[in-house]
Amino acid sequence: MNKIVLEHYPISKLPEEMRTGLPDAESARVTVEVMPDEVDPLKSFFDLKDEEVDPGENLMKLLKHREDYPERYRHGTSMAEAVQRIRELRDEWDDE
């Protein structure tokens, strides 16, 4: 389990440093989530250890992976279509 959510947790039971800045209320939703140890996607993707981190080598491994598994990197959208979709979404938000 990587995440715990407590609904209606009494604010008075929170440590003082967590209560600072909270509005006057009796309860809150408290979420505790474990942070992953590995945050570098290239390292986790290729199962690399810290001593093995070489950006040039990692790039070569990624390019080789793309070559070996092209279906994983194939997109059904052209760059122009993707840009157009993003612009439409952005404009939709701007209208509000």
Q: What is the pLDDT of residues 14-41, one digit of tens each?
A: 998 888 888 888 899 999 988 776 566 6
In the chain, domain spans: 3-33, 41-94
Integer Cα distance of 85 and 77 in angstroms? 10
Question: pLDDT for 52-67, tens place per residue?
Answer: 667 777 788 888 888 8
pTM of the complete model: 0.37
Nearest to 4 by CA among 27, 31, 39: 31
Cα-Cα-Cα-Cα torsion 10, 15, 17, 23, nearest 10 degrees, comes to 10
